[in-house]
Amino acid sequence: MSSELKIKLLLIILVIALMVLGGFPLYLHRHYKMPIVAGKGVTKVTKLSAYSRALKRTAADTDVFFLQGREEGGKVLLMANTHANEPAGLLAALIFLENAVVEKGTLIIIPQFNNSASRNTRPGDGYPLYFEIITDWGKKKFRMGNRDASPLDQWPDPDVYIHYPDKQLLSFIDARNTNRTWPGRANGPLMERVTYGAMEMMRTEKVDIALDLHGAETMFPVTNCIVAPEKSIKIATMTSLTVKAREGFDNHVEPSPTGFRGLSHREIGDYSDTLPFLLEAPIPFLDQPTGPKTVALLMDGKDPFLLSLSRKGKLFVPYDEKGWTMEKRVGQHCSVILEIIRQYSKKLPEKAIEIRNIPYYGEVVKLGVGHFYHDPAEAKKSDIYYE
């Protein structure tokens, strides 16, 4: 064997080793199945493709859980993981999915709104691939996703994303962002088909309230808030005042801008009769000037650089040595969701929605998020869904 051939073979082996070491964890992450135990309240499970046929057999199709109450009433939709790197929304949605008992009206939950993004990651930022929540029966493992859908599912990116139907020019990356592709198109790019499916569901099922659960940087002004368009703003304001008075946490109201297109809190309201709300809980993990993006930072939100910036008045939320824990973020989401539903039911008693068995902020902070999840090993097989 010539020396040239020996060198080439050695290099090929090295590169294959590199590819396996780097690629195998990504492959496992993309195909990791997270078990969810559907609670007693779940009455029907379907796919989003039931409302958007072009989603069928794609990686963007996702489960939709219906929790129908005994009495007729209003309908509320919870969407989590629109941005799959903001997991407090998913964790809150799962608390509802596994525990909620709906007495009146219907609760619809889409826990992995951007299913493709939940199977994507951001290696350039050193994102962890998974995180775990401590429960009463052990640890529950979750995929940590990314803001945008995987390019494996929607490729190529355009030079500029032209929003449909307003033709507003948005960043190229937003073509894969399900909070820029509303209201979507039946046969548009894959992420537009996802939002179109949700719009069709809201129009077909006559959904009254849509809640899109998010997280935002502490250095970003639109954080720790409820974003609402004109038609939802009264309920949002009453919710903000009530949670502050009753539970002691701030959650101000941000008006949905009319000139910035593609966002759920704008387009859902403009293209359907549904009242949209977007909930933002602070997530220090997403801030740029932090230390390494570790699981610890994701869970407790403690970072020395943010602490220093907080002392200089550069953050938009109160921040101290305690950080901003996952329990606080999930608890805020639970309380704000329940309060929006309560305010809506007060305003329209004929369309009231009554949900019980869901913890408020104080309870989630005290008992931990994991306390509210059920052990898949002890659940009936028919109640387990893999996300």
Q: Which residues bind another protein (CB under 8 A)?
A: 4, 7-8, 11-12, 14-15, 18-19, 22-23, 26-27, 30, 151-152, 154-156, 189
Task: Give the DSSP per-residue string, 221-246.
Answer: SS-SEEEE-GGGHHHHHHHHHHHHHH
Q: How many residues does the chain have?
A: 387
Report whether 111 contacts 81 (CB < 8 A).
yes
Do residues 239 and 334 touch, judged by C-beta distance below 8 A? no
Give 186 or 367: the residue with its C-beta nearer to another protein: 186
Would you state the torsion angle of the CA atoms of residues 91, 142, 176, 282, taken in this order, to the nearest 10 degrees? 40
Q: How many CB atoms lie within 10 A of CB 234?
A: 14
Distance in angstroms (rounded) separating the CA atoms of residues 357 and 113: 24
For 194, residues 6+ apart whose C-beta sits below 8 A from its C-beta are 48, 52, 55, 60, 62, 113, 114, 178, 181, 184
Nearest residue (CB) to another protein, 86 versus 192: 192
Least distance (Å) from another protein to the CB of residue 327? 33
Nearer to another protein, 124 or 259 (CB): 124
CA distance 306 to 19: 36
> What phi and psi values does residue 229 have, to the nearest 5 degrees?
-80, 180
